[in-house]
A and B are shown apart, each in its own frame.
Chain A
Amino acid sequence: MKTQFKIKGMALAASAMALVLAGPASADVLDLEGKTVTLVHNASPGGATGLSAQVLADAWSKTMAGNPTVVVQSVAGGALTKGIDHVMEARPNGLTLGYLAWQGTTRILDPEPLQIPFEDFGTIAGIGGSNFIVHTRTDIGGGLEGREDFADLESLKVGGYSPKMTQGMQVAAGLDLLGIDWSYVSGMFGDGPLYAALQRGEIEAYPATTTQYIAELEDGPIAEGTTMAVWQMGPYLEDGTMKRDPALGDVPTILEYIEAATGAAPEGPMWDVIDFHARASAPVNWIVVAPPGTPEEHLQMLRESFDAAVMTPEYLEAATKVYGSEPNIVHAEGMSQIISEVQSTPEEIKDAMRGLVDRMEQ
């Protein structure tokens, strides 16, 4: 039951619809002319979340009915919950919107008081960044000549931000499927610290972004043969296959790699974890929402103006610089489906994830 995500096709259709509908604001659409709309994000000031929110704000202010000024405001703290709560409790008067780091697929493992009722928001869209690769040293396990040698490793030391990093979980689950014994080192926040740790030998592999692959790895250590990209991980496309980032060349998807290495399609709880994150986490890094109670007509205007904004060349150019590749846009319907699916995640998948987290924390 894979969710069908509509990426570019739907965006084009939606933006075309937005253009057709453009004109005098409906009487039920809140009047924003001459007003300031605050786009709240839940990370610290500066950084990727703030930067991508700013890029969106610049584009959205031009397409939103009434052309309000859109400013970006950081409401950080509480493991990202403070900003979420801020938008959740904001008045539905159109003046507060949320650009919130998602992390829904691992947040469901938190204790009950920390759960977020994402379905209560007025969902506008979701935005995802680039694919991830497994980036590994080649001087391990007696030396890796080619990508296929990776599957023969007996053990591997993997690095990540934290035990609940979704890509870290996918890598760990993939290693389980390949029969590779792994240990996990957390506490390195971002591509840079992870790459430095790899060079120091503190870790042997980590999930790296496509951005880092293009900027630093492809023509550097990978071209020199000191490291390699083993597989890539991203969201599913409409046809049910995993998105292959063209920038990553011939790097296989995690499914292709495991199939080639084991001779069979992967299955079982570990594959379910990988599949779950590919469906519900990989497409979306940030959700764009309005406070609960926002009038439906206004919400519709926000969705349409958002769809129009993210198709403008200015936005795409700026966003591509920030995300490393063209952003993955998940429209309102797709985002609502993802939220719904995450909120009803089967206990077996949660247990499998908890098991991985327990092992990562040893």
Chain B
Amino acid sequence: MYDSFLAGLSLVLSFPSFFYLLAGIAVGIWLGIVPGLGGVTGMVVLLPLTFGMEPAAGLAMLLGLFAVVSTSDTITSVMLGIPGTIASQATVIDGNAMAKRGLAQTAFGAAFASSAFGGVLGGFAMAASLPFALWIILAFGSPEFFLLSLLGLLMVGAVSGNAISKGLGAAVLGLMLSQIGYPVASSMPRYYFGERALLDGLPLVPVILGLFGLPEMMDLAARRTAIAHISDERAEDDGILNGVRQAIRNRWLVIRCSLMGVYVGMLPAIGSSVVDWLAYGHATQSAKDTSQFGKGDVRGVIAPEAANNAVLGGSLIPTLAFGIPGSGAMAVLLGALTIHGFSPGRNMLSDNLDVTFSMVWTIIIANIIGAAALMIWGRQIARTAFIDGNFIVPAVIMFIFMGSWVWEPGMFTWTVLLGVGLLGYVLKAAGWPRPPFILGFVLGPVLENAMSITWQSYTPWEVISRPTVIGLIVVLSLVFFFAIRSTRKGMKDFSVEDTRESRASLLLSSGIAVCLVALFAFAIWWALDWKLLAKISPISIAVAGLAIMAFVLVQDASRLSGIGRARRSGDIAAGGTWSEFLAEHRRQMVTFLAIAAMVAVTPWTGTYAAIIGFAALYAAIWGRFRWWVVALYAAGIGLVLYALYDRVLHTPFELPFFM
């Protein structure tokens, strides 16, 4: 094994493998920064190029690319408040808050150092775990997956801050929306309204970009400032090295979250989409002082970044040993292995062990080089926090919309993006934390799949007599206990959404709850006649949703009556007024309507004209730039559309009506 370990290193360091590894890293860094693209897109584009390469070189390029994406995606999460990829969702909460406080460089330093450490530890842990990795994968059957998914859902408490009931409400809404389309164990499509596009459910990329990206851009447009709220160039003490020192100071958190990343990564489908939330939840629950979470606590950046880079090492094991690709990236990697004559299975852990170890070394080396490069550039990148937001908004809107279009081309995708964007903004305005929504949306299908297989494969006794199930129930109970304790003790100052509670926001919150009561009741009524495996999950979710909505309504009513009492006792400003609330959100809504207009005209004008037109009009009217700046800006947007999305990614654009 030791010989294979060294042989793997020599495969990576030999020419031309190392050259291709560097090329992959360069592309990966760039892809992570652009919202919506991510590593899978890059791997799909580069895959055909690897057909004629030596296997080690091709795999080094693909894995090098993918390994650094979860490091560079931090930039988008921190600077824009938009997850660069699905792996950096949790970084948004505190990373973006740090950037707004002028601490972007510190966030970068901490994130890159944690990412590098997580990636390296992930690689070594994966190598060390090979002898018992097969046992782990085979020991975790569907009942264990179900419990692990529940464990992930328990993190709702940790990512809801001081709005637990609304967080639960958002999570159950995410779960409910994940029920659209074909279920795994039934041939009966659900809640699709005769619309073919809904048969596979709502697409994940536009949901994430819409939920976080659009509200952030609406806020930035409304503020008419730079990303950073502070007027100084940067906050005192801000610096890359300060961030690195913070990561070292929190080294045990880094180690714990890295190991969490490796072992959660071994579990297909749960992996990268959930691990950053698990790590974030662990950081909040294990911290003594939680008052700064949500406001820019560096531990909220360190934990998810360490975990999401370690995931890749873990996810290689089921991919190579069983041919189980837990993510889109691993599916592409499987394709690359196939075309180079490798078959996943036990031979990857015996005859081709050197190739397997070359992938481990690729991950390790890529993480070190990627983090070092980003630390060097981090200072320059952080300066964008002080650029006029009017330059940023149209360009980011283009990346958000085209990023979602790349995954599922069509107006349906943009409609989902727009709809979820509005939902995200309304939830934010009403004080409903958005992270639990994503957690529910991502975990819904995993939960249902595990539940269906457990239902079909096991008897109740077979489930409860499994030692791993018993162990996981103990872990679940402990996590639940600590979640309750930390929520009751110290989470009252931890606010996920930066929302000012007012009479109007409470009424909006109650309005959302009433709408959701109707939605859940409708969902139950519609599902009653379905086959058992099609209806059990949505009905269970909807019933839970009704109970949670009742709790939200009671809580909102109690707070509204508190405001009423304050007013009656003479504080006439208590709870604010509707006109204040509307004034607070007017500009955001105007921005949203402008974006909606861009989407609405696309079927007639085509993609190019709609996006370039939006950018030009925004820069001219909202940004009030000079005409030549507007012209240059619009030309730049057009060039990116043509060069990147048309020529490189071959995205099928919507054509104007006359073509």
Query: Are A and B a genuine interacting pair, yes or no?
Result: yes
Q: In the assembled complex, how far is the CB of residue B326 from the closest CB belonging to chain A, in whole angstroms? A: 10
Q: Which residues in B have their C-beta under 8 angstroms from that of A185?
A: 453, 456-457
Q: Is the CB of A85 within 8 A of B196?
A: yes
Q: Which residues in A have their C-beta under 8 angstroms from that of B334?
A: 47
A44 to B329 alpha-carbon distance, docked (Å): 11
Q: Which residues in A have their C-beta under 8 angstroms from that of B138?
A: 196, 199-200
Q: Is the CB of A203 within 8 A of B187?
A: no
Q: Which residues in B have their C-beta under 8 angstroms from that of A200?
A: 138, 141
**A342-362: which have CB < 8 Å to B?**
357-358, 361-362
Q: Is the CB of A216 within 8 A of B331?
A: no
Q: Which residues in B have their C-beta under 8 angstroms from that of A326?
A: none
Q: Is the CB of A76 within 8 A of B187?
A: no
Q: Which residues in B have their C-beta under 8 angstroms from that of A114?
A: 189, 196, 199
Q: Which residues in A have their C-beta under 8 angstroms from that of B141?
A: 197, 200, 202
Q: Which residues in A have their C-beta under 8 angstroms from that of B41?
A: 45
Query: In the complex where A79-B200, A192-B344, A196-B322 touch, is A73 in contact with B650 (Cβ < 8 A)?
Result: yes
* B346 interface contact, C-beta 8 A: yes
A109 to B323 alpha-carbon distance, docked (Å): 31
Give the nearest-CB partner of A220 in chain B.
B346
Q: Is the CB of A47 within 8 A of B331?
A: yes
Q: Is the CB of A202 within 8 A of B410?
A: no
A157 to B459 alpha-carbon distance, docked (Å): 13
Give the nearest-CB partner of A188 in chain B.
B453
* A32 interface contact, C-beta 8 A: no
Q: Kindly supply a per-residue 1/0 record for chain A positions 180-198, scoring 1 wherever the CB is within 8 Å of any chain B CB and 0 otherwise.
A: 0001111110111101110
Q: Kindly supply a per-residue 1/0 record for chain A positions 153-172, scoring 1 wherever the CB is within 8 Å of any chain B CB and 0 otherwise.
A: 00001000011100000000
Q: In the assembled complex, how far is the CB of residue A357 from the closest CB belonging to chain B, in whole angstroms? A: 5
* A77 interface contact, C-beta 8 A: yes
Query: In the complex where A45-B40, A46-B47, A164-B187 touch, is A77 in contact with B449 (Cβ < 8 A)?
Result: no
Give the nearest-CB partner of B143 in chain A.
A202
**A39-92: which have CB < 8 Å to B?**
40, 44-48, 50-51, 54-55, 58, 71-79, 81-82, 85-86
Q: Is the CB of A162 within 8 A of B197?
A: no
Q: Which residues in A have their C-beta under 8 angstroms from that of B182?
A: 79, 162
Q: Which residues in A have their C-beta under 8 angstroms from that of B43?
A: 46
A47 to B331 alpha-carbon distance, docked (Å): 5
A162 to B182 alpha-carbon distance, docked (Å): 10
* B564 interface contact, C-beta 8 A: no
Q: Is the CB of B185 within 8 A of A186?
A: yes
* A215 interface contact, C-beta 8 A: yes
* A321 interface contact, C-beta 8 A: yes
Indicate which residue in A76, A183, A361 contacts B533 across the interface (CB closer than 8 Å). Answer: A361
Q: Is the CB of B44 within 8 A of A361?
A: no
Q: Is the CB of A79 within 8 A of B196?
A: yes
Q: Which residues in A have their C-beta under 8 angstroms from that of B481?
A: none
**B150-203: which have CB < 8 Å to A?**
181-182, 184-189, 194, 196-200, 203
* A103 interface contact, C-beta 8 A: no
A191 to B188 alpha-carbon distance, docked (Å): 24
**B607-654: which have CB < 8 Å to A?**
650-652
Indicate which residue in A54, A199, A214, A220 contacts B47 across the interface (CB closer than 8 Å). Answer: A54
* A38 interface contact, C-beta 8 A: yes
Q: Is the CB of A78 within 8 A of B198?
A: yes
A202 to B146 alpha-carbon distance, docked (Å): 14
* A249 interface contact, C-beta 8 A: no
Give the nearest-CB partner of B41 in chain A.
A45
Q: Which residues in B have their C-beta under 8 angstroms from that of A47?
A: 331-332, 334-335
Q: In the assembled complex, how far is the CB of residue B132 from the closest CB belonging to chain A, in whole angstroms? A: 15
Q: Kindly supply a per-residue 1/0 record for chain A positions 6-40, scoring 1 wherever the CB is within 8 Å of any chain B CB and 0 otherwise.
A: 00000000000000000000000000000010101
A149 to B523 alpha-carbon distance, docked (Å): 48
Indicate which residue in B51, B328, B331, B345 contacts A318 across the interface (CB closer than 8 Å). Answer: B51
Q: Is the CB of A78 within 8 A of B323?
A: no
Q: In the assembled complex, how far is the CB of residue A266 from the closest CB belonging to chain B, in whole angstroms? A: 25
Q: Is the CB of B187 within 8 A of A163?
A: yes
* B341 interface contact, C-beta 8 A: yes
Q: In the assembled complex, how far is the CB of residue B621 from the closest CB belonging to chain A, in whole angstroms? A: 35
Q: Is the CB of A192 within 8 A of B323?
A: yes
A86 to B453 alpha-carbon distance, docked (Å): 34
A55 to B51 alpha-carbon distance, docked (Å): 9
Indicate which residue in A73, A81, A85, A193 contacts B652 across the interface (CB closer than 8 Å). Answer: A73
* B589 interface contact, C-beta 8 A: no
Query: In the complex where A357-B187, A361-B185 touch, is A215 in contact with B410 (Cβ < 8 A)?
Result: no
**B321-340: which have CB < 8 Å to A?**
322-325, 328-329, 331-332, 334-335, 338-339
Q: Which residues in A have their C-beta under 8 angstroms from that of B458?
A: 202
Q: Which residues in B have their C-beta under 8 angstroms from that of A163?
A: 185-187
Which of B194, B335, B347 is the most central at the interface, judged by chain A CB atoms within 10 Å of its CB? B335
Sort chain A's interface into a size bin. Answer: 35 or more
Give the nearest-CB partner of B655 in chain A.
A91
* A113 interface contact, C-beta 8 A: yes
Give the nearest-CB partner of B189 in chain A.
A79
* B492 interface contact, C-beta 8 A: no
Q: Kindly supply a per-residue 1/0 record for chain A positions 195-224, scoring 1 wherever the CB is within 8 Å of any chain B CB and 0 otherwise.
A: 111011011000000011011100010000
* B409 interface contact, C-beta 8 A: yes
Q: In the assembled complex, how far is the CB of residue A265 from the closest CB belonging to chain B, in whole angstroms? A: 30
Q: Is the CB of A162 within 8 A of B184?
A: yes
Q: Is the CB of B186 within 8 A of A361?
A: yes
Q: Is the CB of A77 within 8 A of B323?
A: no
Q: Which residues in A have their C-beta under 8 angstroms from that of B329?
A: 46
Query: In the complex where A187-B453, A202-B457 touch, is A81 in contact with B328 (Cβ < 8 A)?
Result: no
A45 to B216 alpha-carbon distance, docked (Å): 28
Query: In the complex where A50-B44, A200-B141, A216-B343 touch, is A184 in contact with B456 (Cβ < 8 A)?
Result: yes
* B137 interface contact, C-beta 8 A: yes
Indicate which residue in B137, B332, B335, B531 contacts A196 across the interface (CB closer than 8 Å). Answer: B137
Give the nearest-CB partner of B333 in chain A.
A46
**A282-340: which have CB < 8 Å to B?**
318, 321-322
Q: Is the CB of B322 within 8 A of A195?
A: yes
Q: Is the CB of A79 within 8 A of B456?
A: no
Indicate which residue in B186, B345, B412, B534 contacts A216 across the interface (CB closer than 8 Å). Answer: B345
* B142 interface contact, C-beta 8 A: yes
Q: In the assembled complex, how far is the CB of residue A159 from the closest CB belonging to chain B, in whole angstroms? A: 9
Q: Which residues in B have their C-beta under 8 angstroms from that of A192?
A: 318, 322-325, 344
* B315 interface contact, C-beta 8 A: no
Indicate which residue in A54, A76, A187 contacts B184 across the interface (CB closer than 8 Å). Answer: A187
Q: Is the CB of A44 within 8 A of B323?
A: no
Q: Is the CB of B339 within 8 A of A51?
A: yes
* B268 interface contact, C-beta 8 A: yes
Indicate which residue in A58, A75, A191, A358 contacts B48 across the interface (CB closer than 8 Å). Answer: A58
Q: Which residues in A have their C-beta under 8 angstroms from that of B651?
A: 73
| A and B contact pairs by CB, cutoff 8 A, 29 listed | A44-B331, A45-B407, A46-B44, A47-B334, A50-B335, A55-B339, A58-B48, A72-B48, A72-B650, A73-B650, A75-B408, A76-B408, A77-B197, A77-B408, A78-B199, A78-B200, A82-B410, A157-B457, A185-B453, A185-B456, A186-B452, A192-B323, A193-B324, A195-B323, A216-B343, A216-B347, A321-B339, A322-B338, A361-B186
Interface residues of B (CB under 8 A from A): 40-41, 43-44, 47-48, 51, 137-138, 141-142, 181-182, 184-189, 194, 196-200, 203, 268, 318, 322-325, 328-329, 331-332, 334-335, 338-339, 341, 343-347, 407-410, 412-413, 449, 452-453, 456-458, 531-534, 650-652
Interface residues of A (CB under 8 A from B): 36, 38, 40, 44-48, 50-51, 54-55, 58, 71-79, 81-82, 85-86, 109, 113-114, 157, 162-164, 183-188, 190-193, 195-197, 199-200, 202-203, 211-212, 214-216, 220, 318, 321-322, 357-358, 361-362
Q: Could you list 20 further interchain pairs (A-B, Cβ under 8 angstroms) beyond the known A82-B408, A163-B187, A185-B456?
A: A46-B40, A46-B44, A46-B332, A48-B335, A51-B335, A54-B47, A71-B650, A77-B410, A77-B413, A78-B199, A79-B196, A81-B196, A82-B196, A183-B456, A202-B457, A211-B343, A212-B323, A215-B344, A321-B339, A361-B188
Q: Give 8 closest A-B pairs by Cβ, nearest first.
A: A215-B343, A192-B323, A46-B332, A79-B199, A216-B345, A187-B184, A192-B324, A45-B44
